[in-house]
Amino acid sequence: MQAAQAQPAPARLAFPSLDMLRSERNLVGAHIFTALIALTIGIFMGPFQAFHRAPAFVNTFLGNIPVFSYYYQAVTVHGVMMALFFTTLFIVGFSYFVTQRSLQRPLVAMPLAWVAYALMLVGLVLLVFTLSNDVQRSSVLYTFYPPMIAPAMFYIGLVLLIVGSWIAVFLTFFTYNAWRKEHPGERAPLAVFGIIVNYLMWFIASLAVAVEVLFMLLPVSLGLIKNTDPQLARILFWFFGHPLVYFWLIPAYVSWYTMLPKQAGGRLYSDPLARVAFIMLLLFSIPVGVHHLYVDPGVSNVAKAVHAFLTFIVAVPSFMTAFNIGASLEIASRNNGGKGFWGFIFKQRWNDPVVASQLVALLLFLAGGITGLMQASAQINITLHNTSWVPGHFHTTLGGAVAMTYFGILYWLLPMILGKGLFSKKVGMWQALTWLVGMVIFGFTMGEAGLSGAPRRADLANSPYLSETAGMWLNGSAIGGMILFVSVVLLFVNIIGTIFSKKPVEYEPVISTRTEVDSPKILENWKVWIGIVIVLCLIAWGPVIVQGFDTVNGFNSAPFTPSGAPLP
Ligand code: HAS
DSSP label of 85: I
pTM of the model: 0.94
**284 Cα to the center of ligand 1, angstroms:** 14
Given ligand 1 and candidates 394, 396, 435, which is best to mutate, with the most ligand atoms within 8 Å of its CB? Answer: 394
The residue among 195, 298, 324, 260 whose CA lies nearest residue 557 is: 298
> Helix or strand or coil: residue 295?
coil
The residue among 539, 535, 541 whose CA lies nearest residue 211 is: 541
Q: Could you tell me the CA-to-CA distances from 358 to 68, 159, 456 in Å, in that order?
A: 32, 32, 28
Q: Which residues of the chain have pLDDT under 70?
A: 1-11, 62-69, 462, 551-568
Q: For residue 138, is it left (φ>0), alpha (ψ between -120 and 50) or beta?
A: alpha
- Quick: pLDDT tens for 362-379: 999 999 999 999 999 999
**Backbone phi, then psi, for 566, in 5-degree steps?**
-65, 150
242 is catalytic: yes
Q: What is the pLDDT of residue 340?
A: 85
- Quick: pLDDT tens for 193-243: 999 999 999 999 999 999 999 999 999 999 888 778 889 999 999 999 999
Q: What is the pLDDT of residue 463?
A: 78
DSSP label of 397: I
**368 Cα to the center of ligand 1, angstroms:** 5
Q: Rounded to whole angstroms, how far apart are CA atoms 306 and 287?
A: 9
Given ligand 1 and candidates 291, 299, 429, which is best to mutate, with the most ligand atoms within 8 Å of its CB? Answer: 291
Q: What is the pLDDT of residue 136?
A: 85
Q: What is the pLDDT of residue 27?
A: 98
The residue among 478, 287, 294, 449 whose CA lies nearest residue 375 is: 294
Which residue ranges have their beta carbon within 6 Å of ligand 1?
A: 143, 245, 248-249, 291-292, 311, 314-315, 318-319, 321-322, 325-326, 329, 345, 348, 359, 362-363, 365-366, 369, 372-373, 375-376, 381, 385, 390, 393-394, 397-398, 402
Task: List, in order, residues 6 or more apart from 521 with CB less than 8 Å away.
Answer: none
Q: What is the pLDDT of residue 1?
A: 40
Q: Could you tell me the CA-to-CA distances from 294 to 58, 381, 391, 398, 549 in Å, in that order?
A: 33, 7, 17, 21, 18
The residue among 547, 526, 553 whose CA lies nearest residue 278 is: 526
Amino acid in position 406: Y
Q: What is the pLDDT of residue 69?
A: 59
Q: Rounded to whole angstroms, how far apart are CA atoms 40 and 45?
A: 9
**Backbone phi, then psi, for 322, in 5-degree steps?**
-60, -45
Q: What is the pLDDT of residue 147?
A: 87
